[in-house]
Amino acid sequence: MGNDLSRWANRIHRSERPTYHAIADAIDEDIQSGHLRSEQKLPALRTVARALDINFTTAARGYAEAAERGLIRGRPGSGSYVRGEVAATPVKRSSPIGVIDMSMNMPPEPHDPDLINRLRSGFASLAREEDLYGLLRYQEFGGTMADREAAASWLSNRLTGVDPANVLICPGAHGALLGLFAALARSGDSIACEAVTYPGIKGIAAHLGVRLVGLPTDTEGMDPEAFAALCASDPPKALYINPTLNNPTTVTMPMERRRAIAEVAQRYGIPIIEDDPYGCLPEERPAPIATMAPQLTFYVAGLAKVLGPGMRIGFLVLPNVRYTARLNSTLSGLVVMANPAMIRLATRWIEDGTVRAMTRAIREESRGRQMLAREVLEGMDYRAQPEGFHLWLQVPAPWTRVELGNRLRSCGVAAVVSDTFTMRGPAPEALRICLGGASSRTECHRHLEIVHDAIEYLPGVAAGTE
C-alpha cells in the first residue's frame, strides 16, 4: 500500500485540480490500471493525510469524492474499500461545486428497492389517468373530498376524529402558513413565536408587514409565563409554534408545557398556528396542542419531511367550518391551488401505504445517522433527537458562530448559523447541522468527521499554527 500512496503523491503533485479531486483521480487510475483490486481495503484517512502531507479534512473529502464517483464504498467501523463493481457512470453529485451541503433540512433518501418501486409505480399511475387534462386544469382549492379523507386518515395517528370537511390541501406547509398569517393578521399587527424558530416565517411576516414577537424558551420550549405576560400587555393576533422536533433547536415540548401554552391561549382567545412538519417521525410523542385547544388551533403538516422537499403538499386542519370559506378564499387568492398531479400522488401513496412505509424507513435511517453523530461528535455540546435529521451544535467558547461557520465553509461544509433562526435578542452561539443530505450513512460519517476535525482544530487556526 506504500507504493499506492507514492503514486497518489505523484499524481497530486502533477495535478492542477484541487487536492481532494486529485486523490479521487489517483484512486480511479489505480483501479483502471489494476493496482487496486475489487474489494481491496484502502489506507485509513489519517494514514493518507500523513503520507501525503495534507490535513485530515482534505483526505476525507478525497475519499468522499471517490465514493460519489462510485469508485469506493465505506463500511462503518471497518474502513473504505474498492467497490466490487465500479460504476460505469459517475454517481450524481450532491452539489455541482463540491460543497458538502449540511444546511438543508431534508429527509434522508431510503435506498430500499421496494420503496423505490412503490414510488415508480405511483408516478407511472399518473400516465394511466383516463383524463390527463384533468391534471392540467384549474381545480377548486383544498382538494376533493377523497383527497381530504386521505389526509385525515394519514393524520389520524396524531389527531383523532379529524373532520375531512375541515381539511384543506395546500401547496406545501409553507403555503398554508402564508395563508394563515395573511388571514389572521394585517400589516402592523403582531404574531408571537419562539425566539429561535423556523426562518420561513420571517419572510412571510416581512412580506405581509407583520411584526414577529419572539418569546424566550428553555430546554422544554416556549416559556408560558412570557406568553401570558405578552397576552396581558399587548395581545398578539396569533401564536406560531413548532413544538415537536423544533427547527432548529430540536426541542420537543413536553405535555405539561403544551397544556400550559394551550391554557394561556384559551384564557386570552389567541389563535394558535401549530406547525408540525416532523410530528410523524417520533414513535412516541406528546399529543399536539390542537388536541388541547381544538377550537383555537390551526394545525399544519405536510409530506415534504417524509417523501422529500419536492412533494409540495401540505395539510391544514381548521378548528371549525367557520374558517373554511375564509381560508379557502385567502389561500386561493395567494397561491391559486396545489398541483393536481401532486395531490393525486399524495392521495395514492397515503392509501396504498407508501407514505407510512417511507416514514418508517426515514425514521430508521435518521436513528442510524444520529448514532453516527453521537460517535463522531462525542464530547461536543449539541442537541438532537433520535428520530430527527438535524442537530443544534453549540459553539465552543471563545469561538463565535460566525468563526465556526466560516471554518466549516473553508473545509467545504455548508451549515446554517443561528442568526437565520433568531427572532428576538442576540443570536445564540450555535449552528444547525443537517444529516439528511448525505447519500448514505458512510457519506454522512465522513461529513461528520470533517465537522469534528474543523472544530477540533479551531484553536490552531486562531493561534496561527495551521
Considering the domain architecture, whether residues 348 and 364 belong to the same structural domain is answered as no
**CA proximity to 94, closest of 112, 79, 109:** 109
Answer for the pair 75, 39: CB distance below 8 angstroms, yes or no: no
**Is residue 109 in some structural domain?**
no
For residues 255 and 299, what is the distance between their CA atoms, to the nearest angstrom? 17
- Total structural domains within the chain: 3
Over its C-alpha atoms, the chain yields an Rg (Å, rounded) of 25
Cβ 306 vs Cβ 358: under 8 Å:
yes
Global confidence as pTM: 0.78
Does 241 share its domain with 328?
yes
Q: Are residues 151 and 63 in the same domain?
A: no
Beta carbons of 174 and 151 less than 8 angstroms apart: no
Res 39: pLDDT:
86
Q: Are residues 202 and 280 in the same domain?
A: yes
| Residue 2 pLDDT class (50, 70, 90 cuts) | low
Burial 351-377 (b: 16+ CB within 10 A, else e): eeebbebbbbbbbebbeebbebbeebb
98 belongs to a structural domain: no
Quote the CA–CA distance of 123 and 342 in Å, as a whole number: 10
What's the mean pLDDT in 26-37? 82
Q: Do 115 and 357 touch, CB atoms closer than 8 A? A: yes
* pLDDT, average across residues 269-290: 95
Q: Which domain holds residue 73?
A: 2-93
The lowest-confidence range among 21-25, 93-97, 204-208, 400-404 is 93-97
Q: Final residue of a domain: which of 352, 374, 392?
A: 352
- Give yes or no: residues 169 and 239 share one domain: yes
| 3 state DSSP class of 151 | helix
- 389: phi > 0 → left, psi -120 to 50 → alpha, else beta; which? alpha
Same domain? 68 vs 202: no
Spell out the alpha helix ranges (H) of 352-400: 354-376
* Other Cβ atoms closer than 10 A to 212: 20
C-beta separation of 224 from 260 below 8 A = yes
Residues 6+ apart with CB under 8 A from 78: 41
pLDDT at 97: 45
Whose cell is 419572539? That residue is 214
- Residues 295, 220 within the same domain: yes
Same domain, 259 and 289: yes
As a whole number, mean pLDDT of residues 224-236 equals: 98
- Asked if residue 250 and residue 385 are part of one domain, the reply reads no
